[in-house]
Structure 1
Amino acid sequence: MKKPRSNKAPAKQAQQQPNGTSDSKLAKFLDPNSSWDKDKLLDTLYWIRQAIGLFCGLLWGAIPLVGAIWIVLFVAISTGTVYWVYSQRLNIDEEEFGGHGAILQEGFFASFTLFLLCWILVYSLVHF
């Protein structure tokens, strides 16, 4: 006979690194000497771009900004921030991750869409 399954999942323990610290993404992001695998780096850069897209879209919509110059400014802020994070803050070799182009494209179109959606919705709801 089979034993009935318990609905309770075992509690997850924090993964420990050899030096005894927990392996959290924030701690890893704040440590410029940590090693990154490709998936974790691209996920981190993706979510940074999403946060920038959301913030800029809400800000651009709340302040009644219109025109293509603000789209160009968003692209510059988003791309510049991602470039600074992986080249200056994390000190990674971009060739290991597919080069500058592959890294800078990660999450761009999704964040651009989120930016436009937030900008249009907030602008329309607040100012009309």
Structure 2
Amino acid sequence: MHFNEPKDQFLDVIYWGRQLLAILMGLIWGYLGLTGILGLSSFVISNSIAVYIYSINFNVENDDVMQDVKEGFMTSFASFLVSWILIYSALYF
């Protein structure tokens, strides 16, 4: 058994949960027609807050919450942008 297995599993949950949340948020943001800095900043803030709340409530080791918040952020940001742009373009152009 790997020594750090529970932490790795926790980070996997954060990573994949963040991906799903980002795609869902991209679909919603695109449908609502949000654009520009409002759309980008609201995604960053709400996605980070959601992961932070999840981390402080379910992290069994409470060692570094900010590391949890950074886990998988850039890939979730890319997923958000793709889904946001596709839905917005399909509905408004």
Please give the root-mean-square deviation of Cα atoms over the aligned residues, in Å.
Answer: 1.4
Matching residue within 33, 36, 60 for 1:92: 60
Q: Which amino acid aligns with 2:75?
A: A
2:11 is aligned with 1:46 = no
Quote the Cα distance in structure 1 between the aligned partners of 2:18 and 2:77: 9
Q: Which amino acid aligns with 1:59?
A: I
In structure 2, runs of 5+ residues without a counterpart are none
Q: Which has the higher contact order (CA 8 A, sep 6+)?
A: 2
Larger radius of gyration: 1
Q: Runs (4+) of structure 1 moved beyond 3 Å?
A: none
1:51 is paired with a residue whose SS is helix
| TM-score, length basis structure 2 | 0.86
Quote the Cα distance in structure 2 between the aligned partners of 1:124 and 1:69: 17
Q: Give the number of aligned pairs.
A: 89
Higher-helix-fraction structure: 2
In structure 1, runs of 5+ residues without a counterpart are 1-35
Instruction: Quote how far apart the aligned CAs of 1:120 are.
Output: 0.7
